[in-house]
Amino acid sequence: MKGKIRKARIKDAEAIQFLINEYAKLGLMLPRTIHSIYENIRDFWVYEEDGKILGTCALTVFWENLAEVRSLAVSQEHTRRGIGSSLVKTALKEAQELGINRVFTLTYQVDFFKKLGFRVIDKELLPQKIWRDCINCVKFPNCDETAMEINLDGEGENETGRTAENHKAGDR
């Protein structure tokens, strides 16, 4: 990779939307409005090369110890160059710096996320508040994405599950 990953700036919003919405047209991602990107611009990372935005990824904080990797997209002509995994690793590092150890994603790219250390979890283990955006999804309530999670402090499966249950219970 000859470009660099950096935090998004407001002028990147349209390029971010373009990357996401190209995949949304293919049914691989949910479309995002330009307003939602402006509103959440501080969540976004971008990969820039030769002045062009070729990849993006957002880290959204949900709870005391829970964040989501979302809106991950790499320009179709530039996939399989390590850009997507570098963006996710950057978002995970940001989560750790914030003191957040549990990061989840809802995705169709199970094998890609497995390579990064995520594991498949039961969607029911995620707190209800994460579904607030789903109400606007064309697929709601029949979500066919897979929920995956990584525990950055290296805790075991059972501990993660208990934590998730605690969040769920605390959410009611």
All residues at 6 or more sequence positions from 137 whose CB lies less than 8 Å from its CB, including other chains = 30, 143
CB of 165 to ligand COA, least distance (A): 24
Report whether 157 contacts 125 (CB < 8 A).
no
Residue 3 as a binder of ligand COA (CB under 6 A): the answer is: no
Report in angstroms how near the CB of residue 53 gets to ligand COA at its nearest. Answer: 13
Residue 52 as a binder of ligand COA (CB under 6 A): the answer is no
Minimum distance from residue 119 beta carbon to ligand COA (Å): 15
The two tokens of residue 85 are 């995994």
Q: Single out the residue of 46, 84, 126, 151 in contact with ligand COA (rule: CB under 6 A).
A: 84
**If binding is defined by CB under 6 A, does position 27 make contact with ligand COA?**
no
Does residue 144 bind ligand COA (CB under 6 A)? no
Check residue 107 for interaction with ligand COA (CB under 6 A). yes
Residue 81: HSE in the Cβ half-sphere, 13 Å Cα cutoff: 16
Q: Indicate whether 82 belongs to the interface with ligand COA (CB under 6 A).
A: yes
Q: How far apart are CA 71 and CA 20, in angstroms?
A: 7
Q: Please, what is the minimum distance in Å from the beta carbon of residue 97 to ligand COA?
A: 21
Residues 81 and 34 sit within 8 Å (Cβ to Cβ)? no
CA 145 – CA 17 distance, rounded (Å):
21
The answer to the question of residue 108 lying near ligand COA (CB under 6 A) is yes
In the beta sheet, which residues pair with residue 147?
106
Which parts of 26-82 fold into alpha helices (H)?
A: 34-39
Q: To the nearest whole angstrom, how small is the minimum distance from the Cβ of residue 111 to ligand COA?
A: 4
Burial status of residue 133 (CB atoms within 10 A of its CB: 0-12, 13-18, 19 or more): middle
Closer by beta carbon to ligand COA, 114 or else 162: 114
Q: Where does this chain bind ligand COA (CB under 6 A)?
A: 23, 28-29, 72-74, 79-85, 105, 107-109, 111-112, 115
